[in-house]
A and B are shown apart, each in its own frame.
Chain A
């Protein structure tokens, strides 16, 4: 169970949110509402002023107890809006980066499973510069999965793609539901959220406007 209760004040924007849940939680709301900041706070890339973040009994951040687990020790897989693949590495080395950094043993069956799940087999020897937008996002998802995260954060993974590419990636995202991995799915598209998420947290102006099942989207 993921529990987030954080506050962060900037000169012209205040983020003050609390939510918790299991499974695939969608952070839903208009752009500029603070969704990506929440994702960054959970991943440890942005530090909140005060609050508490925990996955189960594992505390990732607690301003009272002065706990702040650095990003590289949080084991949170992050799929960014723009992929952020390492341009100097092949797809194959991009996929293996997280495993190597976490000192995990080679696990070919796991690697093969993820490669099959996302249809990456024909891309392995290529560099990111030679991939289409959709291919890049699939590799980014695979890279995050293979780092063996305990939570997967997807920040508008379809936002940089055109409609046709979106249609191409959505089935892969639906396949992720079978991974039984807790996820945060950031999006402002109700149709995407309905297809993927178990529950919805609606964010507006840096606050939680509503939270509940996907029926919330009407």
Chain B
């Protein structure tokens, strides 16, 4: 039974490509936003926090629909990106990556923010008295100390991006080879006769990928944490 068909392989590889792209692209933004939320004291901080968490509580269809309106070829942002940079999201795998990035963003930001908040800021003062300019302090002290949160956030976000369904299918539809991820393929297979065996194979694959991501995240975070306590 466990022979994956070329179509199934395509969906798996596409899912991985979309999830990896989404995670890598949202990581720098996520780090910046997490740091701002942990350290910043500015007007509208609560609002920013709320907007970031919105995809977590909104129906995914709503998020997907909003992306379609804004980032579609005729959308305000989508038209601008296409005219100026030639970047197109509509019905493309890049759009799926954008949807996954938005949906997984709160999961990426939250552990990172908690890590930033728990760092002893007096260590940063110590670094500056030793001659490190602020951004170097961030790179050599703050970010390495936030490593457990960075790992947890990255892998949680990746796992979420891998399984995203509602926003993606609403925004970029379900096109085999372009936007049909594992989730979308399973959905399609459940809608056709004799699709059960193929659906079951993809279900097993997605469970395995998700488990690997979660276990790896736990293990890496624990290792990073141990390093700071003396190993």
Contacts and interface: CB of A to CB of B under 8 A. Distances in A.
A127 B131 contact: no
Contact of B126 (A44, A80, A88, A130): A80
Given A87-B229, A129-B228, A129-B230, A71 B145 contact: no
A71 B230 contact: no
A147 B131 contact: yes
A213 B140 CA distance: 42
A87 B230 CA distance: 8
Given A101-B136, A127-B227, A129-B230, A84 B131 contact: no
Q: Chain B CB within 10 Å — which of A74, A98, A128, A130 has the most?
A: A98
B230 A72 contact: no
A71 B227 contact: no
A111 interface: no
Contact of A71 (B120, B125, B136, B228): B125
B129 A86 contact: no
Nearest to A93: B140
Q: Chain B CB within 10 Å — which of A72, A74, A82, A98 has the most?
A: A72
A72 B122 contact: no
A130 B226 CA distance: 12
B127 A76 contact: no
Contacts of A97: 127, 130, 132, 140
B127 A130 contact: no
Main secondary structure of the interface of B (DSSP, over half): helix
B128 interface: yes
A136 B131 CA distance: 20
Given A84-B122, A88-B144, A45 B230 contact: no
B126 A84 contact: yes
B90 to A, nearest CB: 44
A126 B18 CA distance: 42
A84 B228 CA distance: 13
Given A71-B129, A72-B128, A86-B127, A130 B122 contact: no
A80 B122 contact: yes
A130 B230 contact: yes
B122 A88 contact: no
B189 interface: no
Contacts of A130: 230
A86 B130 CA distance: 12
Interface in B110-150: 120, 122-123, 125-134, 136-137, 140-141, 144-145, 147
Given A71-B125, A101-B131, 13 more contacts: A44-B128, A70-B128, A72-B131, A72-B132, A77-B130, A80-B122, A80-B126, A84-B120, A84-B125, A98-B131, A129-B229, A144-B130, A147-B131
- The 9 A-B pairs of least Cβ separation, nearest first, read A129-B230, A101-B131, A98-B130, A84-B126, A78-B129, A102-B131, A130-B230, A87-B228, A71-B128
13 contacts: A44-B129, A45-B125, A45-B129, A70-B128, A77-B129, A80-B122, A86-B126, A98-B131, A126-B230, A128-B230, A129-B230, A143-B130, A147-B129
